[in-house]
């Protein structure tokens, strides 16, 4: 297990789980956790973490729940994505922010400040989670500069904590 500091882990109540599940289901348009799943919440180094059993499948960033890369692999959502070209993959998996010219596709309805997940154009597999710095139209314009600020990616400490 990777060296990640996790503090104040506690079991969530059904009512709390229901609120988180409803938010996640609204964001992704697919069922994720259920109210009966044993979900724990904990403080991570940069944001809150949601455990389902021993797996970290969710996160809470600035009060908004979202899936981690492992959670994205498990539930396979089709909303809130930004697709990058294959040339950008090595940079994204090293934690670099996503730049406008490297984006090939973006989901409708993304607003500035929304949490989004990044996938590659060939395999369409989740690579990272970040914060959109532009809305959908701004992302699709492919202007120079940062389009998504990275929070969590394949290979970081949070990813390695699940190994």
Asked whether the predicted pLDDT for residue 3 surpasses 80, the reply is no
Q: How far apart are CA 129 and CA 112, in angstroms?
A: 14
Asked whether the predicted pLDDT for residue 37 surpasses 50, the reply is yes
- 48-80 pLDDT per residue, tens: 999 998 899 999 999 999 999 999 999 999 999
CB 114 within 8 A of CB 157: no
Task: Report the pLDDT value the prediction gives residue 125, as an integer from 0 to 100.
Answer: 95
CB 147 within 8 A of CB 124: no
At CA 59, angle to CA 40 and CA 92, rounded to 5?
145
- 86-108 pLDDT per residue, tens: 999 999 999 999 999 999 999 99
Residue bearing the bigger pLDDT, 110 or 162: 110
Q: For the chain, what percent of residues have pLDDT higher than 90? A: 86
CB 85 within 8 A of CB 102: yes
Task: Report the pLDDT value the prediction gives residue 2, as an integer from 0 to 100.
Answer: 54
């Amino acid at each position: 297990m990777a060296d990640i500091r996790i503090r104040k882990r506690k079991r969530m109540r059904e009512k709390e789980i229901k609120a988180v599940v409803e938010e996640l289901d609204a964001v992704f348009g697919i069922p994720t956790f259920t109210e009966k799943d044993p979900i724990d919440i904990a403080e991570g180094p940069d944001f809150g973490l949601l455990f389902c059993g021993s797996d970290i499948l969710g996160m809470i960033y600035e009060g908004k729940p979202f899936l981690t890369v492992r959670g994205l692999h498990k539930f396979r959502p089709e909303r809130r994505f930004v697709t990058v070209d294959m040339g950008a993959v090595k940079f994204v998996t090293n934690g670099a922010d996503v730049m406008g010219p490297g984006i090939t596709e973006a989901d409708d309805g993304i607003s500035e400040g929304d949490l989004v997940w990044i996938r590659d154009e060939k395999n369409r597999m989740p690579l990272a989670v970040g914060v959109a710095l532009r809305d959908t139209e701004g992302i699709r314009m492919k202007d120079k500069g940062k389009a998504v600020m990275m929070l969590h990616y394949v290979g970081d400490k949070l990813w390695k904590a699940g190994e």
